[in-house]
């Protein structure tokens, strides 16, 4: 920042230059991080964001439109996940993303168990496939992590989970789907374990929340996972993933209003007046809220049905194409739009070396392990590039041959500095 500042043209041209090295997610070659539903959706999201560029979501009394938008978004997601029925009245709040939703689900479960059961040494039980944010939540909120293995189909081991649960368990976790291999955990069985122990059950549907309901409507087989499953007490679903709104917009739902209250922090013991916070943030950016409202209302059910149908057809082409390439396999049998690609024999093909060759061609996928694999989140924005990707993947396997890379790193979310 210079003493006199830069001109508008200088600022914008510098930003454009800085951005030149970033991944171009509009060309369909980015299978992670950003999900593109087309120019019209991007345009309406941008205009809605700009309309609320400077407003503050901290106080809906000052900006009642933001309160109304959040309520309508929560209502929409609750209805999608069968949370508004005679036996269920799910309530929730918007958050800044999946990590915040997960942290708050853990916080609410911990506080609920402390209040209702007197638990003072809380633990939560989850599969090794569960998102890293649960481990962050355990660290931040003082909840012991009891991590159990997954079976050969990559779903959580129910026997191991049952053995890990005790009277101090405040939360049992399932994923719909889990991120690494894209399979849905056995949610009814996990919820039953939690219910029998008198504790909470969270379903992480950050990736699946805006996919699985529409898959079901399109006739795809979808295992039970939402509030129709007795014992499920909370669900997280990200709008800024396959809901196609800009970052950051997610929803955390609780089965009842009473359960939701344990998410909220109340305080009036200072000189500034009554303070209530539903999330980790105080001040909340209004742009993502407005953009999420605009995108969901612009697309509607019919729009999401079209996008999910396009996504699932592309996922099928990707899986079939990968399995036609000698030496490669898809791990497990993905239930939705997440695909992990690995070598059948890692001693013969180094999938990370293959990924390096793909990266040189402008493709972006996540490396992950164990086992060594590359991860693709298929979306409507990548559907048109599947053919080119498979062609380049086949060529990369041939190019790499039996060579290996010394770089075994996996960078799902690096911080960009020496750790």
Q: What is the pTM of this model?
A: 0.94
Domain spans of the chain, in order of start: 48-296, 308-398
- pLDDT number for residue 87: 87
Question: Taking 70 as the threshold, does the pLDDT of residue 418 lie above it?
Answer: no
- pLDDT number for residue 98: 96
- pLDDT number for residue 3: 80
At 415, the pLDDT band (50, 70, 90 cuts) reads: low
User: Domain 48-296 is of which CATH architecture?
Assistant: 3-Layer(aba) Sandwich (3.40)
Residues 213-230, mean pLDDT to the nearest whole number: 97
| Rounded CA separation 68/329 (Å) | 47
Question: Taking 60 as the threshold, does the pLDDT of residue 77 lie above it?
Answer: yes
pLDDT digits (tens, 9 = 90+) for 12-26: 999 999 998 888 899
| Rounded CA separation 234/95 (Å) | 14
Query: Using CB atoms within 10 A of its CB, is residue 122 exposed (0-12), middle (13-18) or buried (19+)?
Result: buried
Which tokens sit at 349?
């093909």
- pLDDT number for residue 21: 86
pLDDT digits (tens, 9 = 90+) for 338-385: 999 999 999 999 999 999 999 999 999 999 999 999 999 999 999 999
Residues 299-312, mean pLDDT to the nearest whole number: 98
Q: How many CA atoms lie within 13 A of 187 on its CB side?
A: 26
Question: Taking 60 as the threshold, does the pLDDT of residue 419 lie above it?
Answer: no
pLDDT digits (tens, 9 = 90+) for 240-286: 999 999 999 999 999 999 999 999 999 999 999 998 899 999 899 99
Residues 118-125, mean pLDDT to the nearest whole number: 98
- pLDDT number for residue 416: 57
Question: Taking 70 as the threshold, does the pLDDT of residue 413 lie above it?
Answer: no
Least confident of 152-161, 206-215, 273-282, 386-395: 273-282
- pLDDT number for residue 4: 85
CATH domain 308-398 topology: 3.90.1150
- pLDDT number for residue 50: 97
Please report, rounded to a whole number, the percentage of residues in the chain having pLDDT higher than 90.
Answer: 90
pLDDT digits (tens, 9 = 90+) for 43-62: 999 999 999 999 999 888 89
- pLDDT number for residue 65: 96
At 335, the pLDDT band (50, 70, 90 cuts) reads: very high
- pLDDT number for residue 204: 98
- pLDDT number for residue 307: 98
| Rounded CA separation 177/334 (Å) | 9
């Amino acid at each position: 920042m210079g003493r006199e500042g830069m001109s508008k043209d200088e600022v914008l041209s510098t930003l454009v230059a800085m951005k030149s090295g970033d991944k171009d997610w509009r060309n369909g070659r980015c299978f992670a991080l950003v999900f593109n539903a087309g120019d019209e959706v991007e345009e309406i999201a941008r205009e809605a964001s700009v309309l609320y560029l400077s407003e503050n979501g901290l106080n809906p009394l000052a900006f009642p439109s933001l309160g109304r938008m959040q309520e309508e978004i929560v209502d929409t997601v609750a209805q999608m996940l069968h949370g508004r029925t005679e036996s269920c009245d799910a309530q929730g709040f918007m958050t800044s993303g999946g990590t915040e939703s997960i942290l708050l689900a853990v916080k609410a479960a911990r506080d609920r168990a402390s209040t209702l059961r007197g638990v003072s040494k809380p633990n939560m039980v989850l599969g090794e496939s569960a998102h890293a944010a649960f481990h962050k939540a355990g660290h931040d909120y003082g909840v012991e992590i009891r991590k159990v293995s997954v079976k050969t189909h990559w779903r959580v081991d129910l026997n191991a989970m049952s053995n890990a649960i005790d009277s101090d368990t405040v939360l049992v976790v399932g994923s719909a789907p889990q991120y690494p291999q894209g399979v849905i955990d056995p949610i009814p069985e996990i919820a039953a374990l939690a219910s029998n122990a008198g504790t909470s059950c969270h379903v992480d549907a950050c990736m699946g929340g805006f996919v699985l309901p529409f898959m079901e409507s399109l006739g795809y087989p979808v295992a039970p996972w939402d509030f129709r499953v007795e014992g499920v007490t909370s669900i997280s679903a990200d709008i800024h993933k396959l809901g196609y709104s800009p970052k950051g917009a997610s929803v955390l739902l609780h089965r009842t209003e009473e359960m939701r209250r344990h998410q909220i922090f109340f305080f009036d013991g200072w000189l500034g007046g009554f303070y209530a916070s539903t999330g980790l943030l105080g001040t909340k950016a209004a742009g993502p809220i407005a953009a999420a409202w605009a995108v969901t209302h612009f697309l509607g059910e019919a729009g999401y049905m079209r996008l999910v149908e396009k996504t699932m057809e592309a996922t099928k082409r990707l899986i079939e194409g990968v399995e036609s390439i000698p030496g490669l396999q898809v791990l497990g049998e993905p239930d939705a739009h997440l695909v992990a690609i690995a070598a059948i024999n890692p001693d013969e093909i180094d999938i990370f070396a293959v990924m390096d060759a793909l990266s040189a061609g402008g493709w972006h996928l996540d490396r992950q392990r164990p086992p060594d694999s590359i991860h693709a989140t298929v979306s409507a924005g990548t559907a048109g590039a599947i053919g080119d990707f498979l062609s380049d993947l086949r060529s990369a396997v041939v190019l790499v041959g039996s060579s290996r890379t010394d770089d075994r790193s996996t960078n799902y979310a690096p911080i960009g500095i020496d750790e």
